[in-house]
Amino acid sequence: MMAFIIRRFLRLTAIILLPAGTLCGAPLLDEGYRQMYNLQFDDAHKTFAEYERKAPSDPLGPVSDAAAYLFSEFDRLNLLSSEFWTNDDNFLDFHKLDADPKTKTLFEAALEKSKHLADAELRAHPDDPNALFASVLRLGLHSDYLALIEKRNFAALSEVKQSRALAGQLLGRYPEYYDAYIAQGIENYLLSLKAAPVRWILHATGAETDRRTGVEKLRITAEKGHYLRPYARLLLALADLRAHEPEQAREKLEWLAHEFPQNKLYRKELAKLN
């Protein structure tokens, strides 16, 4: 019992939940995500490792580390550029990309560690918001890797739907846990890019494929989210570019470039609009 009390105390001192479920980051997690968005991946891994040492039972530590591994691959493979997102062929191509095997191993190990911690917490407390959010994020990160890098779309779809279901459970109890809306946003928006016959099949299997809904959910995270706000803003900027709305994209990219001056992607995308 004493060990349980200590673990809960560490959890409460590591991450703060505001009333109504608003996510407020621990300082080390905030620092790690800022480093990640600034493309300082080695620094981000060190920061997340320090957080894990201080909060060993929190699944947000390892899943955040996994996010840094995924974003390093996104950066290396240029998967968050306008060239990639505005070319429909990239969402129809089934050829695997040249993934880094070491990064994949570390990424999957971090996800598995987070799953172990979150599952243990959810067995005891099925509606624990921190564990639910960590699970939503874990499934979302892995489905992104499967879909965008390994091109395993059916495997990715299964995890996308699981992530959306857990996000619904979390938001049903904590509607102001704004980062979780990104799960619904990405599912709807990315799947809406598929050809009409494919969308019909996906919808028949229970997937959500409405582009407008996707943009609306992404906008919630982009405006009110915490850890995932920059990612949601970038996705919306890319959606603006696909919709031939460069001025709306410019506003989001200017914010990103100001907040994360060491991220060359945002400056490059802005330069294309000049």
pLDDT in tens, the chain (274 residues): 444 444 444 444 444 333 333 455 589 999 999 999 999 999 999 999 999 999 999 999 999 999 999 999 999 999 999 888 877 676 666 678 889 999 999 999 999 999 999 999 999 999 999 999 999 999 999 998 998 899 887 788 788 888 888 999 999 999 989 999 888 887 765 665 554 434 434 444 444 456 677 788 899 999 999 999 999 999 999 889 988 999 999 999 999 999 999 999 999 999 999 8
Q: Are 180 and 133 within 8 A, CB to CB?
A: yes
Note the pLDDT of residue 78. 92
User: How many alpha carbons lie under 13 Å from residue 110 in its C-beta half-sphere?
Assistant: 26
- Tokens representing residue 54 in the block: 């201080």
Q: Are 170 and 133 within 8 A, CB to CB?
A: yes
**Residue (of 25, 23, 21, 24) closest to 174 by Cα position:** 21
**Residue (of 210, 209, 236) closest to 222 by Cα position:** 236
Note the pLDDT of residue 23. 52
Taking the alpha carbons of 82, 263, 137, 182 in that order, is the dihedral positive or negative?
negative
**What is the number of helices (H) and of strands (E) in the chain?**
14, 2
Query: Any residues with CB less than 8 A from the CB of 161 and at least 6 apart, and which?
Result: 187, 206, 207
Q: E strand or H helix at 17, and its extent?
A: strand 16-17
CB atoms within 10 A of CB 252: 22
Q: Supply φ then ψ for residue 98, to 5 degrees.
A: -80, 80
Amino acid at 89: D
Note the pLDDT of residue 212. 77
Residue 16 pairs in a beta bridge with 24
Q: How far apart are CA 187 and CA 140, in angstroms?
A: 9
Q: Are 194 and 214 within 8 A, CB to CB?
A: no
Q: How far apart are CA 149 and CA 162, in angstroms?
A: 20
Q: How far apart are CA 217 and CA 231, in angstroms?
A: 13
Note the pLDDT of residue 24. 54
